[in-house]
Chain A
Amino acid sequence: MLWYLGRRLLQVIPVFIGATLLLYALVFLRPGDPVAGLGGERGLPEAVQQQIRAQFHLDQPFIVQYLYYLRGIFTFDLGDTFTGRPVAEVVAEALPITFQLAIMALVIETVFGIGFGLFAGIRKGKLFDSSVLVLSLLLIALPTFVTGLVLQIVVGVNLDWLPVTAGRDPDFYSLLMPAIVLATTSFAQILRLTRTSVIENVTADFVRTASAKGLPRDKVVSRHVLRNSLIPVVTFIGVDLGNLMTGSIVTEGIFNINGVGGTLFEAIQRGESVTIVTMSTVIVLVYIVANLLVDLLYAVLDPRIRYA
């Protein structure tokens, strides 16, 4: 088990180098000159532009720029953004709030997705099942900015039930609506995944055996049906944590949350490679860790799976 963990963690190193190199190359290949756009229509004085290029090594070849970046990582000094703030500070400021939002969304979609999915799967073909199916289809089809803006105007402005925007230092209450919006699509997918899986398992031999030996129905459902149905769902949830962290760009914009999304978006617009690469790399690392957790969870859910 420990050996397995160690091996998995070692894999992070090549993934990290590969991801940063690839991301850096992509930003570098972005056409245009980021410094030229800094001054608006008029542009900055040429001398000022040249000094900015020199400061950020933008006049150097790609590989040199990349090595400067790696040096920055290993000396814990990533330098400044174009606006003159330390990159590390900007990234460290944006991450916690996005992480909090992602976790809230994850809890919402998991609890409701699995709950509704289980209920629908057990009562396959009944009214609840059919209506939930239609609803989930609708939620999958609606893009986040539609659900976000509609909820914001209806629940926030018209009904006044929840804050319209999260603002600074948002509490649980003001993050609730953004989290719900962020969770909608995945909620529908988890619901459908759980439902299908439950339907399969309900007719499986071991469930029939459990029922036949007189186990109460709720125990059959919770111990046998649900547990066995969760493996595909857990896989999905693991990957989804990464999606939630990146997919929050739209949601964060709508609800004015000062997180990864807005920071990343502005950095991309400005062609600020150090910020883009650092932020994306952190997200890559979140993916890796989430996937590792998922793999470990498999063993808990299904005792037949063992890691060595």
Chain B
Amino acid sequence: MTPRKRLLGLGAFALASSLVLTACGGGGGEEPPAEGASTGIVTVGNGEPQNPIIPTMTNEVFGSKVTGNIFAGLVYYDAEGVVHNEVAESIESDDNVVWTVTLKDGWTFSDGTPVTAQSFVDAWNYGAYGPNAQNLSYFFEPIAGFEDVQFAEDQLDAEGAPKEGEVPASETLSGLEVVSDTEFTVTLSQPESDFPLRLGYSAFYPLPESFFEDPEAAGEAPIGNGPYVLETWEHNSLIELRPNESYEGDRVPQNGGVDLVAYTDEDSAYNDLLDGNLDIVTNVPASAFGTFEDELGDRAVNQPAAVIQVINVPEYVEGFQGEAGLMRRQAISMAIDRDQVTETVFSGSRTPATDFTSPVINGWSDDVEGNEVLDYDPEGAKALWDEAEAIEPWGDEPLYIASNADSDHQSWIDPVCNGIRDTLGIDCEFDAYPTFDEFLDARDNNEIKGLFRGGWQADYPAMSNFLGPIYGTGAGSNDMGYSSEEFDAKLTEANGETDPDAAIELYKEAQTILFQDMPGIPLWYNNATGGWSEAVENVVFGWDSDPILYQVTKSE
């Protein structure tokens, strides 16, 4: 299933969010409610979580609305994606390899047991351990000893499944070491300057002791340390979150609780919002793209999300190698009228791309050197294409753009193809795979006969997350087979840079290399679209496109 993830980030809300943070700074359970606090229950359109509510299992947006609110990690992200310490007192390293994490005193889980260094280390070990088959296990890959908690090559059968009775060499990551109740160290296998940035992601949340006695029961009735507790979970219909009395952090709930209401259809959620039966919609249906900003006025949100769409160029496809290949990649990019497609097909719910990251990410800019190949320039495109023709003719083959057809991709591939046809004078066709998993299958087996659609949603708000996992040599999502020593070296340099501003410059330089090689042709950023009813106030959508629920107020 294509994850129905939508995201958002809003620079304009910086002021609003910092006000709330001040208002409830240091708010313990005993203090009177901060000014503006309300008692109404906020209802939010959601869906049935696709996995048990276990932080290291939750890889989609329905479940992460729950984990993000009932757990508190070492750090949390504010609306702009800026990192603030939550359970962590400090996260420090001299060399970006060995990180010392100290915790604040006094945190407890909602069952009364203390949150200690062990709670984190045990949870991470659980998430990384191969036989537990956790969806987010790859997040622990950078930690030393990760290979030892996975099944070794000779423990797998011909199909790749673990053999009966085999277990990995170790049950725990050698890179994790508990120093005291409030301190532990993390040793990485190589320097990673943005490691602390990742720690707000759900894979890194702590777990109480009771979890390990019965993970299955805990996945049904999770116990966390976050702003809310999960009160009831009626499958496929409702999840009730209520304020956690023992929560110690800054994200103190300003409402009487949150009800996550499951919808299978975006239209019905939106109609419920219009009728006042639902307070917040996090996904406007395509049918309302053109009208929702008029209907909701200043209660509508339509801003870039941490999601980028690209057309990838596999290295194994003929016609895209060498000097001529480079020109072709650029020519195709320049033949796409991004402004027109985002306006007419998506009614403005996409934003034309200017780089390889996303506007909600710190460090994004529209002036990365070399990004002029993203501008629509039919004459220039045709000239480049003809130049490539002179070196090596393209032939009569159509240009294929592959994607799955079980969600709506034809609507933009057709106009993109039309542009390429008109501008470059070659045939262009949508190569449709009936289902998403068939498409993935062909993609992963290098069987695609042309270009193919790619999409990327950030896990944590960092530029590196948009570059390394996709364009690094041999990286997990490098489905193009792209490999550039120059790019890899620049990325390593950026990852090891301790000064954030210098790191941003290096990441921009790395993108300039990508613009020269064009392993992927950036198209546009998805927008987060959403809205809220007149009954609620202080609704802010975060960098990850989810509303920041604790600060929403609603009178009864």
Contacts and interface: CB of A to CB of B under 8 A. Distances in A.
B161 A50 contact: yes
Nearest to B269: A256
B268 A253 contact: yes
A253 B265 CA distance: 6
B104 interface: no
B3 to A, nearest CB: 4
Interface stretch (A11-19, A37-45, A238-246, A282-290): A37-45
Interface in B422-460: 434-438, 440-441, 444, 454-457
Contacts of B440: 32-33, 36-37, 43
Contact of A83 (B51, B156, B434): B51
Contacts of B130: 47
Interface residues of B, number: 61
Given A50-B156, A156-B271, A254-B265, A269 B134 contact: no
A52 B59 CA distance: 15
Interface stretch (A120-128, A157-165, A207-215, A292-300): A157-165
A84 B271 contact: no
A224 interface: no
B437 A33 contact: yes
B162 A32 contact: no
Most buried by B among A52, A83, A94, A256: A256
B264 A41 contact: no
Interface string A85-101: 10000100110000000
Contacts of A253: 264-265, 268
A83 B219 contact: no
Nearest to A256: B268
Nearest to A145: B267
B236 A50 contact: no
Contact of A40 (B2, B131, B134, B434): B2
A57 to B, nearest CB: 11
A34 B264 contact: no
Given A157-B275, A164-B268, A256-B268, A85 B235 contact: yes
B235 A269 contact: no
A303 interface: no
A38 B134 CA distance: 12
Q: Main SS of chain A's interface residues? A: helix
Contact of A50 (B48, B160, B262, B277): B160
Contacts of A255: 268
B90 to A, nearest CB: 31
Nearest to A271: B437
Contacts of A269: 1, 406
B161 A32 contact: no
B50 interface: yes
A285 B454 CA distance: 44
Contacts of B435: 30-32, 37
Interface string B216-242: 100100000000000000111110000
B476 to A, nearest CB: 7
Given A32-B441, A93-B236, A168-B237, A37 B265 contact: no
A102 B138 CA distance: 46
A48 interface: yes
Contacts of B238: 168
B261 A42 contact: no
Contact of A165 (B161, B268, B456): B268
Contacts of A201: none
A84 to B, nearest CB: 5
Given A36-B440, A83-B48, A93 B235 contact: yes
B473 interface: no
B220 to A, nearest CB: 9
Interface in A42-89: 42-48, 50-54, 59, 82-85
Contacts of A252: 264
Most buried by A among B2, B150, B265, B269: B265
Contacts of B162: 47, 50-51, 54
A37 B275 CA distance: 35
B159 interface: yes
Given A46-B160, A254-B265, A40 B5 contact: yes
Given A48-B135, A82-B50, A84-B219, 18 more contacts: A33-B441, A36-B437, A37-B437, A37-B440, A41-B2, A42-B477, A47-B130, A47-B137, A54-B162, A163-B277, A164-B275, A165-B263, A165-B271, A167-B277, A252-B264, A253-B265, A256-B265, A256-B269
13 contacts: A36-B441, A40-B2, A41-B2, A42-B469, A50-B162, A59-B161, A83-B49, A83-B50, A84-B51, A152-B271, A168-B261, A253-B265, A255-B268
Interface of B: 1-3, 5, 48-52, 59-60, 130-131, 133-135, 137-138, 150-151, 156, 159-162, 216, 219, 234-238, 261-265, 267-269, 271-272, 274-275, 277, 406, 434-438, 440-441, 444, 454-457, 469, 476-477
Q: Which 8 A-B pairs have the closest CB atoms?
A: A37-B437, A168-B237, A32-B437, A32-B438, A40-B3, A51-B133, A50-B161, A262-B264
